[in-house]
Structure 1
């Protein structure tokens, strides 16, 4: 049946026969949540919240005793801001307001949390290092839920998209099940947040380390430090394997400091990208880049303050091994050169001597090109085999190996010359201990404030910068070394003894060291170093020993495993077929390469625990942008909630459509059954409220951006509920901008 203009005829309006409301600001016991929502109130709601918000709900399942299982959405809409939101299923009892009475209230009877104590999930989760392993909104984004005939629960997720199978009380029973790509055997249909691609792995790793550190009292998040060619860059050309999304990591609260960059143009590109820090062998060029960077194009460089110092709250400029292209690396003259160029952080490598003293140096074996034995003995000696007294008595590390700018001219390092004499070091290039390095920085500040350097033109700048400069110490460990705990203890002790824990970080490619630092000295920050060929061995399926045994999808990237599923385009809806028993998850949005408006329904055989390879095509109504839920009735008819992205507008598109699947591979036949923006309310169950949209005058509408729960009831009735995206969505209360409540409405519809 069609109208005169050729469009489908409008469905008869459904009738509102029941309505229950759960207030938006409803909370349940649990840890604080919403720390990543920012300091400003959102629609009057101040985060972080003292406990767990109950809403919004993305799926409902009738229990049979008058209650419903209600799946809380994954948190706050993004993987980056939902690590402290526990994934829960609540039990609700509704008392809808009807023509015959009813309070219109929603009772929260109880809840259980999704959790993985048996470690079925192989990739790192937020609570990786706990026993209960409660799942969070940064681990999965469950949007659909069904209860199987055996009483277990199945969830359709959007991050994978995965099918997640749990016990009746939320314990994960088997590994998450990915979606095979029917058109490309051996591949899966994956979303950008899929943790089985390297692009989605870094955030998972950082979340796990951050949660572990915070349980021990840390207040600073770990820092991610990849090679600069591994960050996703908008610059023309490709510099390397671009895996790490700086914007995503920073939105999740993790600073990104890249290494090692020695060209001003590349420094500027990374500054435009928004990295939190840059490590360079050329602090002189790094400072030049900072002084000339004009990111907003207003003609005023913004990285250096009026006092002439780098704005360390905006960017961290780190001198790599001091200034290794200007002076021999990891020596006090190299540190002096870096300080002369006003770096905000001094970066160094540290080894451990035979008597367990941390000493500056990159190489496990002294390199004859860099270090010489003044007594004429064998130079190539293992640092771990030398006592600190012998090392400092015999070796001078002043070798020039880095190019024409590098020099070991002692006259250029007056602070080091003075400090070496005061410390009794044989030469300014004697390998210093970690403790001596930290003392040297204090001596540098004194030299330019009250000492011989006080008359230098930049004396005030140098002294002020040195008094607040930060320290980044890399532990030179490999997984074969059995003294990681001892190493971390000695480094932490030296930092604590110098009183600079709040200005110090320990970094490592070997995550064991970082874990020990978290245990021993949570006030010290940690930095995760990542690089191909070091702790990211391409092609290895085994958990990496460099990553403390945590799993990483080595070499699996968008090049080899494309990411075709749209963000927030996974299993928003999932029907349950009783015979033969199967799940029919529906993708919310078209995948890359599919025709516009075409979403797919796949078949998962519950008895065989596998996808069958059969699928159906559902074409969204042209005004729709997404399929928000999908259910089957006893006759095999499919009911789909479709929506556009409008909010608070009665002229938008929100509807329930009825489809017939037909043979696999065919396009489903569809008719529009219920217009959710044009519902009759003859009983006045939703009276007018000043400023509210879609209530009063005998009419009712659901003007929400997301309406995601559908339960088929007897006698041509349906229960529909919105996901209120707390605290963001304001579809109903447009007048006073209050966040949407959770609304549960029962509709009577007339079959077409």
Structure 2
């Protein structure tokens, strides 16, 4: 947006000049659309890659016995890894969701789906695992066959990638295999049968019955936001539905009171069709923060960004309007919190967690794909890193997002 200013000289000559608007001069409804500058790293903590749930079952038996990044499967327990979703507890701790395990349905039958309770300590640069709950279906609400007779859910049953906490304290989780919406209580017990997305099926969908999927493998609900009033969910697909333009992703609206999709959809357009989204969170009634990334890691990584996406589509191009708020490969780090002072890079293949801590501060986590990803150090499995990032200016967020 540009504001027109008229200057009048003594000769009565009027000139009209275009000057960039500042954040302070913008109308309140437009403040989210002005540009952001370079973001700054304000906190760094890490959980070592080889962290396992105490007393848990062995895992990784389907990965073979060849070392991967110096780690040899099978593993002595359940890795605390793959953070694919985050929910804030408002007491300095967070719930983080592990994804389906080791990358696909075929190799993750011995990985137990779990929500971990963690606490970052930025002074010590460490992350403490306080506990967690396994996801289960004790009431037999899943109508198709599960991997385990005890109905503890595994990475061969669902690929869970996004999580929000409802106002009643229960969890809604987005799955990629269906894609399904899954509703759990605070102890991780399924409360309702999996809810399908009408008209969309991934190859792993148990209801295909020989039919043709119209969504790529594990390209379901990678991100999901809760509306600021707590009444709706906004699950965002990671892949393009067959027939949609390449590089466009559907965001759907789900009514929590009616337990049904409303039929309202929006389009998020990737900067490149080869990119993926990593997470989504609401900022207000119209705007969402969305992570967009390439599929590269380490020095090869080029795109790891957070965008502010607006459903109002002011340029009328049929997609959410996007404003970059942070480049995770170019964070200012004057204090050397992440290493030497200068520039900090978050160069992971999959970055799948963002949460708003205050109007200018975000928490961002990676999914370390244990033991496969090695974006930080070649030949070594990535840790689970937990960083905080200060934006160059405020989001002007709705205060209800902090409840």
The TM tier, using the shorter chain, reads 0.7 to 0.9
C-alpha separation between the residues in 2 aligned to 1:681 and 1:635? 32
Provide the rounded CA distance (Å) in 2 between the counterparts of 1:11 and 1:152: 35
Q: Which residue of 2 aligns with 1:111?
A: 132
1:103 to 1:623, Cα distance in 2 relative to 1, 3 A: farther
Distance in 1 (alpha carbons) for counterparts of 2:166 and 2:195: 16
Q: Relative contact order (alpha carbons < 8 A, sep ≥ 6): 1 or 2 greater?
A: 2
1:741 aligned to 375, 383, 391, which one? 383
1:585 aligns with 2:235: yes
**Does the 8 Å contact 2:287/2:309 carry over to 1?**
yes
Q: Is the alpha carbon distance of 1:649 and 1:11 closer, same or farther for their aligned partners in structure 2, counting shifts above 3 Å?
A: farther
Q: Which has the larger radius of gyration?
A: 1
Q: How does 1:42-53 map to 2 (within 5 A)?
A: 42-53=68-79
Deviation at 1:722, TM superposition (A): 0.2
The whole-number CA distance in structure 1 between the counterparts of 2:229 and 2:58 is 44
The secondary structure found in structure 2 opposite 1:36 is: coil
Q: Tell me the alpha carbon deviations over residues 366-423 of structure 1, each in whole angstroms, 9 at most, x when there is no partner.
A: xxxxxxxxxxxxxxxxxxxxxxxxxxxxxxxxxxxxxxxxxxxxxxxxxxxxxxxxxx
Which residue of the partner structure matches residue 78 of structure 1? 104
- CA contact 1:19–1:685 (8 Å) conserved in 2: yes
Q: Of 327, 343, 346, which residue of structure 2 is paired with 1:702?
A: 346
- Normalised to the residue count of structure 1, the TM-score between the two structures is 0.47
The equivalent position to 2:360 in structure 1, one of 700, 716, 737, is: 716
How far off is 1:625 after superposition?
Answer: 1.3
* Greater fraction helix: 1
Report how far residue 591 of structure 1 moved: 1.3
Match for residue 66 of structure 2? 40
* Greater percentage in strand: 2
- C-alpha displacement of 1:635: 5.5
Once the two structures are TM-superposed, the CA of residue 134 in structure 1 deviates from its matched residue by 0.5
User: What SS is found at the alignment partner of 1:662?
Assistant: coil
Match of 1:12 in 2: 37
Distance 2:317 2:168 in 1: 29
CA contact (8 A) 1:16 1:680 kept: yes
In structure 1, the partner of 2:256 is: 606
Instruction: Measure, in 1, the Cα distance between the counterparts of 2:310 and 2:104.
Output: 34
Verify: 1:56 aligned to 2:82, yes or no. Answer: yes
Separation in structure 2 between the aligned mates of residue 64 and residue 11 of structure 1, nearest angstrom: 27
Q: 1:14–1:624: structure 2 CA closer, same or farther, 3 Å change rule?
A: farther
Match of 1:595 in 2: 245
1:696-727: CA deviation from partner (whole Å, max 9, x where unpaired): 34110111100000011113110000000000
Which structure 1 residue ranges, 5 or more long, are not aligned? Answer: 3-8, 97-101, 182-188, 198-555, 688-695
State the number of aligned residues: 361
Displacement after TM superposition at 1:649 (Å): 2.2
Work out the CA distance in 2 between the residues paired with 1:725 and 1:612. Answer: 34
How far apart are residue 580 of structure 1 and its match?
Answer: 6.3
Secondary structure of 1:80's partner? Answer: helix
The one-character-per-residue Cα deviations of 1:396-453 (angstroms, maximum 9, x if unpaired) are xxxxxxxxxxxxxxxxxxxxxxxxxxxxxxxxxxxxxxxxxxxxxxxxxxxxxxxxxx
Distance 1:570 1:148, change over 3 A: same
- CA distance, structure 2, for counterparts of residue 624 and residue 745 of structure 1: 26
Give 1:106 deviation, angstroms.
Answer: 0.5
| CA-to-aligned-CA distance 1:578-635 (integer Å, 9 cap, x gap) | 3361000000121111101100100000011011111001111127511111110245
2:18 alignment counterpart: none
Equivalent residue in structure 2 for 1:656, among 303, 306, 316: 306
Q: Cα 1:159–1:585, aligned 2, differ >3 Å: closer, same or farther?
A: same
Q: 2: CA distance between counterparts of 1:650 and 1:72? A: 25
* Consecutive aligned runs of 4 or more in structure 1 exceeding 4 Å deviation: 663-666
Secondary structure at the counterpart of residue 62 of structure 2: helix
